[in-house]
Each structure stands twice: as structure tokens, then as C-alpha cells.
């Protein structure tokens, strides 16, 4: 069994355009590769990390 790890690290959360595009990709990918397992990993500190770069 193959796995694809989707790391979610956007500070915008559900409002992220990148997350919307990724969602469409993962849907198409899952339909084409039914034997793969797609796992999502949300980075709880994404906003805190982004603040470090914005302030730099």
C-alpha cells in the first residue's frame, strides 16, 4: 500500500486558495489511484510560524 502525506501548514486555514487547489488535486488523485492512502497532517502552529517570517 502506498501513502501520500498531505501537510497542511497554511496560516489562512480554510480561506487558503492553495488549500482549495490542493483539495481538488487530492480528490482527482484519489479517484485515479484508489490503491493509495492519502493522509493529512495539519500543522497547529502554522500561524505562529508564519508570524516569524512576516515580522522578519
Cell numbers standing for residue 7: 501537510
More confident position, 24 or 7: 24
Instruction: Give the pLDDT confidence of 24-52 residue by residue, as tens digits.
Output: 999 999 999 999 999 887 776 666 666 77
pTM: predicted TM-score of the whole model, two decimal places: 0.67
Write the CB contacts of 14 (distance below 8 Å, at least 6 apart in sequence). none
**Structural domain that includes position 44:** 2-54
- The 10 Å CB-count burial string (b at 16+, else e) for 4-41 is eeeeebbbeeeebeeeeebeeeeeeeeeeeeeeeeeee
- Structural domains in the chain (count): 1
SS3 category, 45: coil
Amino acid at each position: 500500500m502506498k501513502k501520500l502525506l498531505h501537510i497542511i501548514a497554511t496560516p489562512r486555514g480554510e480561506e487558503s486558495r492553495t488549500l482549495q487547489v490542493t483539495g481538488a488535486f487530492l480528490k482527482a488523485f484519489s479517484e485515479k489511484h484508489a490503491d493509495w492512502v492519502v493522509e493529512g497532517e495539519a500543522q497547529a502552529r502554522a500561524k505562529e510560524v508564519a508570524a516569524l517570517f512576516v515580522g522578519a
